[in-house]
Amino acid sequence: GAGVSQSPRYKVAKRGQDVALRCDPISGHVSLFWYQQALGQGPEFLTYFQNEAQLDKSGLPSDRFFAERPEGSVSTLKIQRTQQEDSAVYLCASSLLPQDIGQQETQYFGPGTRLLVL
């Protein structure tokens, strides 16, 4: 079956613009994660959804970052009033089970959206 897809693959924004990044997880996967990967770094956790519920948003760097998954499938990460420090690759991952019983579960990653804020 299809893997995790993300769109757009590349996004250039002017400082102050709002952007929306989309993630289509694997069908039937309960858990969905967003990560931010700065250049030369490993992915850093942003937020976690179990179905439509956002259970953990402790990694969101500021209140300019907002994520939703209204129907428990597709998710959107929105960044308002983008800043240069927001430039990074934003990765989405999904896994089959809820995180509280599936710590050992493999996370399946999308190709990422590369955001460049000028």
Partner 1 sequence: AQSVTQLDSQVPVFEEAPVELRCNYSSSVSVYLFWYVQYPNQGLQLLLKYLSGSTLVKGINGFEAEFNKSQTSFHLRKPSVHISDTAEYFCAVNNYGQNFVFGPGTRLSVLP
Least separation in angstroms between CB 81 and partner 1:
26
Query: 80 or 109, CB closer to partner 1?
Result: 109
Within residues 30-49, the interface with partner 1 by CB under 8 A covers 33, 35, 40-45, 48
For residue 66, list its beta bridge partners. 78
- CB-count exposure of residue 100 (10 Å: 0-12, 13-18, 19+): exposed
Distance between CA atoms of 93 and 64, rounded to whole angstroms?
A: 21
Judged by CB under 8 A, the stretch of 14-22, 68-76, 79-87, 102-110 that binds partner 1 is 102-110
Q: Which residue has the tokens 């999308």?
A: 110
Distance between CA atoms of 41 and 54, rounded to whole angstroms?
A: 25
Interacting residue ranges for partner 1, rule: CB under 8 A: 3-4, 33, 35, 40-45, 48, 56, 58-59, 91, 93, 99-100, 103-104, 106-112
